[in-house]
Amino acid sequence: MNKPVEISVEDLIEPLTYSVEAFTSRDYAAAEADLLWAKVWQHAGRVEEVPKVGDFITYDIGDDAILVVRTAPDSLKAYHNVCPHRGRRLIDTPCDANRTCGNRKRFVCGFHGWTFDLQGKNTYILDESDWKGELTSERTSLAEVRVDTWGGWIFINMDPECVPLRDYLEPAAGILDPFAFEKMRYKWRQWVIYDSNWKTALEAFMEPYHVQGTHPQLLEYGEYYAYSAAHELHGVSGFDQRNPDLKMDQSSTITRAGKGPDARISTYELQNEIYNTVNNASTTETLVNAAKRLVDELPEGTPAQEVIAHWLASAKADDAARGVDWPEITSQQMSKAGLAWSIFPNMAILQGITFALCYRARPYGDDPSKCIFESYAIERFPDGQAPKTEWVYAEPTAEKWGSVLAQDFSNMASVQRGMKSRGFRGTLPNPHQERKVTNFHRNLARYMGRGWPRLLKRT
C-alpha cells in the first residue's frame, strides 16, 4: 500500500498522512531523545527568570537535565546538570515540579561536596591529592551546553555542532522580530502532567480548523477559516478571509474585526469573548476597553477597516498614557506574522501587538502517552509593574485554564487513545488548513532519519 517517500515543502499541498508510531511507540520516544532532543534548540525559560548574577533555572528533557545560570549582568551559561564526580544531579528538580530555580554563588554537589563556580569550573575537591595530580580542570568542570536568547526566551542546545540559534529560528525570527517579545513579561504561567504524547498536545493548538468542532461558541464572533504555511522548520497559521472584499490589514491576525454587520459592536464582542474564555490572554484589557468605546466614538456605518484603525490607535494611546509603548510594527508586518507560530519542535507562539499566548509540551519520563504541558501569557507592562508570577500546577479544567483551553484539553487525551485503535488507518490532515502539522512531521521525520519508516507518506 503506501510507500514511504521523502516529502518536500512543495508536497505539503498534497493530501498526506503520517503513522501513529510517533505518538504511541516507546521505542520511538526513546529514539527521540538521541535524534531529536539532543540536536534541536529548545526554549528552557525566559530571561526574566534569571535577572541577577547567580540566578539559575533547571530544564529537564527526558533523562537530560540542563542548568542555566546568569554568570554576569549580560551573560548566561548552560551546563548539563550533573556532577562530574559520580554523576549525582547537581540541582534536584522534584518530580512534582517542572523546574527548580534559585540563586547561588557556587554550586555544591550534595553527595561528596565537589564545588563549582558560576563559570562551571571546579573550585573544591575533597582530598584531591588522592588522585595524585591526574585530574584535569576540563574533566572536573561542568559540561557546557550551548545557550542563546531570542525574544526574551532562553534557548539551549545539547549538540556542540549545532547551527547558531538565529539561523535555526529563521525565517520565523525575522518575521516576528518587530513584536519585540523581549519587552514582554509573564502575566501567568501554568503547567500540568497530561495524558497524551507531547506532539498530540502541541498539535491541538496548531490549526484553527478545529474551532468549528471544538469551540463552536466562537463561531458567533468571527470567521475561522485559516491558511497554514511552512517556513522551513517552523510554521504559521492565520485567518484566511475567503471573501476577497472583506480582506483587509489585520484580518489574518487576532486583532481583527468580528463577525456581524456593525464592526464597532462585533469587534468588541470578539475581543471580550476571547479575553473571558482564553484565561485573560490572546488580547489585553487595554484592547478590550478601547473596543468597548467604539460604539460611542464612531458613527454607525463606519467601514470595518476604519473601525480597526481607530480601535488600535486609541488602544495605543491608552497604553502610552499608562507607560506601555507599542512596538514599531506596521499592519503589513502584523498581517505577515499571521495568528500563530509553531517553532520546531515544541514551542507555540500566538502573538499580538503587546502580548502573546505560548505553549510548550515535552515528554514526561519515558511514557509516550504522557507529557508535561505548559502554557503562559506574556504581555507588555509599565516599567516595574509586571506581576510576580511562578509556575502553577493546574488541573486541566475550565476553572483553571478558561473554557477554550478546557475544550482543547477535552480532545488531547482522547486523540491519544483513539490513535491506538487498530481501526484507525492513519491521519488525514487538511492539506490547506493543517499544513503546519504536516510540515512538523516532515521535519520530525528528517531528524529521526530513515530508521523510522512510514513517518510521513502519501495517502
Contacting residues toward ligand FES, per CB under 6 A = 83, 85-86, 88, 109, 111-114
Residue 400 partner contact from ligand FES, Fe ion, none using kind-dependent CB cut-offs of 5 to 8 Å:
none
Nearest CA to 360 among 349, 374, 370?
374
Among 240, 262, 273, 408, binds Fe ion (CB under 5 A): 408
Q: Which is nearer to Fe ion, 276 or 389 (CB)?
A: 276
d(CA 101, CA 46): 12
Asked if residue 33 lies in contact with residue 15, where contact means CB atoms within 8 angstroms, the answer is no
Q: Site residues for Fe ion, window 410-449 (CB under 5 A)? A: none
β-partners of residue 375 are 190, 359
Q: Which is nearer to ligand FES, 113 or 365 (CB)?
A: 113
Q: Which is nearer to ligand FES, 88 or 417 (CB)?
A: 88
Which 3 state secondary structure label does DSSP give 262? coil
Asked if residue 271 lies in contact with residue 283, where contact means CB atoms within 8 angstroms, the answer is yes
Per DSSP, 352 falls in state -
Q: At how many degrees (to 10) do helices 285-292 and 304-321 cross?
A: 130
Q: Which is nearer to Fe ion, 209 or 311 (CB)?
A: 209
Q: Which is nearer to Fe ion, 408 or 434 (CB)?
A: 408
Asked if residue 414 lies in contact with residue 204, where contact means CB atoms within 8 angstroms, the answer is no
Q: Which is nearer to Fe ion, 154 or 278 (CB)?
A: 278
Q: Which long-range contacts (CB under 8 A, 24 or more apart) does 232-235 make?
A: 232/9, 232/170, 232/171, 233/168, 233/343, 233/344, 233/443, 234/169, 234/171, 234/172, 234/341, 234/342, 234/343, 234/344, 235/206, 235/341, 235/342, 235/435, 235/436, 235/439, 235/440
- 154 CB burial (10 A radius; 0-12, 13-18, 19+): buried
In angstroms, what is the minimal distance from the CB of 205 to Fe ion? 6
Residue 408 partner contact from ligand FES, Fe ion, none using kind-dependent CB cut-offs of 5 to 8 Å:
Fe ion
Q: Which residue has the cell 497530561?
A: 194
Residue 257 partner contact from Fe ion, ligand FES, none using kind-dependent CB cut-offs of 5 to 8 Å:
none
In angstroms, what is the minimal distance from the CB of 108 to ligand FES? 9
Alpha carbon distances (Å) from 75 to 1, 66, 69, 161? 54, 16, 9, 21
In angstroms, what is the minimal distance from the CB of 85 to ligand FES? 3
Site for Fe ion contains 203 (CB under 5 A): no
With CB under 5 A, what is the number of residues at the site for Fe ion?
Answer: 1
Stretch near Fe ion under the rule CB under 5 A, chosen from 69-77, 226-234, 262-270, 405-413: 405-413
In angstroms, what is the minimal distance from the CB of 408 to Fe ion? 4
Residue 447 partner contact from Fe ion, ligand FES, none using kind-dependent CB cut-offs of 5 to 8 Å:
none
φ, ψ dihedrals at 65, nearest 5°: -135, 135
Residue type, 301: G
Residue 85 partner contact from Fe ion, ligand FES, none using kind-dependent CB cut-offs of 5 to 8 Å:
ligand FES
Residue 86 partner contact from ligand FES, Fe ion, none using kind-dependent CB cut-offs of 5 to 8 Å:
ligand FES
CA 131 to chain centre: 46
* Beta strand segments in 257-354, E: 340-343, 347-351
Residue 49 partner contact from ligand FES, Fe ion, none using kind-dependent CB cut-offs of 5 to 8 Å:
none
In angstroms, what is the minimal distance from the CB of 357 to ligand FES? 40
Q: Which is nearer to ligand FES, 124 or 326 (CB)?
A: 124
In angstroms, what is the minimal distance from the CB of 79 to ligand FES? 13
Q: Which is nearer to ligand FES, 111 or 424 (CB)?
A: 111
d(CA 265, CA 16): 41
Q: Which long-range contacts (CB under 8 A, 24 or more apart) does 309-314 make?
A: 311/267, 311/287, 312/250, 312/255, 312/353, 314/290
Residue 111 partner contact from ligand FES, Fe ion, none using kind-dependent CB cut-offs of 5 to 8 Å:
ligand FES
Q: Which is nearer to ligand FES, 125 or 265 (CB)?
A: 125
Q: Site residues for Fe ion, window 271-300 (CB under 5 A)? A: none
In angstroms, what is the minimal distance from the CB of 453 to Fe ion? 32
In angstroms, what is the minimal distance from the CB of 175 to Fe ion? 23
In angstroms, what is the minimal distance from the CB of 115 to ligand FES? 9
C-alpha cell at 172: 520565523
- 424 CB burial (10 A radius; 0-12, 13-18, 19+): exposed
Q: Which is nearer to ligand FES, 128 or 366 (CB)?
A: 128
Asked if residue 345 lies in contact with residue 36, where contact means CB atoms within 8 angstroms, the answer is yes
In angstroms, what is the minimal distance from the CB of 144 to ligand FES? 17
Where do contacts with Fe ion occur on this chain (CB under 5 A)?
A: 408
